[in-house]
Structure 1
Amino acid sequence: MLSRVGLAGYTTADGLLDEDEGADDQEGAAATERATGPAARRTSTSSRLVRDAAIGARVKELHRHACQICETRLQYKRRPYSEAAHIRGLGNAHNGPDEMPNLLCLCPNHHVLFDGLEIYVDVDGIVRRTHGDKTVGRLRQHNSHHIDGAHLDYHRTLCDLNRMARS
């Protein structure tokens, strides 16, 4: 289903394959045989997206580091901790923008569920589980943080495709 809409290999909003898809059995076997010593290293060249940390920091500050879904405010090393989650992923094939209308302030648990397409925000601002449609809560809004509905629509579409692919 995902390959028909140009998203082959993208089973999550963050663009990463599930752990069991693409796991290399030979590396796993070698890791279990090596019981002591430093981990092996491999040289590689990569490119990665450049994100504007100030935008994420602004969203977190506006929401006082409280998750927009559950209101959790974490403390880590005596400082507030929250995560700026992109609604429409930045990487290929999503190509979302790195801007405030494409960000949510979430706790780590809700961030991983959102990126994993396990939860979504419906058109009324209710956060629901993708499988079973159970209500999780209501997305808390802030007057100074406009969320682009087109990005939420895109995320909902991914959740629908994920639901159909797993059925």
Structure 2
Amino acid sequence: MDRDAGSAPGTGVLDTVQPVAGLTHASAELLRNPFLRLQAVIKLCSTYFDGVDQRELLSRVGLAGYTTAEGLVDGDVEDEEGATATERATGPATRRTRTSSRLVRDAALASRVKELHDHACQICETRLRYKRRPYSEAAHIRGLGNPHDGPDELPNLLCLCPNHHVLFDGLEIYVDVDGLVRDTHGGASVGRLRRHNSHHIDEAHLEYHRTLCDLNRMTRS
């Protein structure tokens, strides 16, 4: 009996193609690249899910990591049930046993990017002092956590003040192709990313972050 054009393929076809999660092996291999995977997510959201809450959709299908530049790391897991609303609100805070798994970051790299920029934010030039010592933060451009799988290396780091670190990780600002730092949702310039001759920044990581901001703009509209 002839099959309809929209019917499922027979088992013989599946045995021949050996799909991975419904994809051919070639497609599955391509999607191992974080940037291509991100572009595929944006294409699917803009083409097929324009009328739905896309942030909720990403969360429900296990792609919540795309809502921040940091991505998702193995989260803390409590060994007992969380606190209830009926627990007393006075006295010492309740203690619970927790187990966690964290990504290992190279502290020497973080120190290096801060020293190169003399702890001055590469966006606003702010130099903070805390407990009589300079304070700045090393921000990964492409997050180390899932699904970004960014590398822990100097070309993937920026030296930022806490304010701009939060905005950068939260996809509220991005660096455009001309080096201007712009507001994700309005496009207004908030400054220019200052460079240092001894600190090469991988433009591919900045492009990845810009694309994440495109997805954030789309899901927030």
Q: TM-score per shorter chain, which class?
A: 0.7 to 0.9
Match among 103, 111, 128 for residue 57 of structure 1: 111
Q: Which whole-Å deviations, capped at 9, do the CAs of 1:43-78 have from their partners, x for residues lacking one? A: 222211111100010100000000000000001111
2:99 match: secondary structure: coil
Match among 147, 152, 155 for residue 201 of structure 2: 147
**Counterpart contact for 1:7–1:93, Cα < 8 Å:** no
- Does the alignment pair 1:8 with 2:63? yes
Counterpart residue number, 1:100:
154
- Does the alignment pair 1:129 with 2:183? yes
Matched to 1:9, the amino acid is: A
Residue 8 of structure 1 deviates from its aligned partner by 1.4
1:14-163 aligned within 5 A: 14-15=70-71, 27=83, 29-30=85-86, 34-163=88-217
**Structure with the larger helix share:** 2
Matched to 1:83, the amino acid is: E
Matched to 1:54, the amino acid is: A
- Structure 2 length as normaliser, TM-score? 0.66
Q: Which whole-Å deviations, capped at 9, do the CAs of 1:56-113 have from their partners, x for residues lacking one? A: 1010000000000000000111110000000001111111111000000000000000
Aligned residues: 155
Compared CA separation, residues 27 and 131, structure 1 to 2 (3 A): farther
Greater relative contact order (Cα 8 A, min sep 6): structure 1 or 2? 1
Q: Identity rate of aligned residues, in percent?
A: 79
Runs of 5+ unmatched residues, structure 2: 1-44, 46-54, 73-81
Matched to 2:70, the amino acid is: D
Runs of 5+ unmatched residues, structure 1: 17-25
| Structure with larger Rg | 2
1:151 match: secondary structure: helix
Runs of 4 or more above 6 Å deviation: none
- Structure 1 length as normaliser, TM-score? 0.86
Quote the RMSD (CA, aligned, Å): 1.9
1:114 match: secondary structure: helix
Compared CA separation, residues 122 and 7, structure 1 to 2 (3 A): farther
1:148 & 1:83 partners in 2: Cα distance? 19
2:148 & 2:181 partners in 1: Cα distance? 21
**Counterpart contact for 1:87–1:103, Cα < 8 Å:** yes
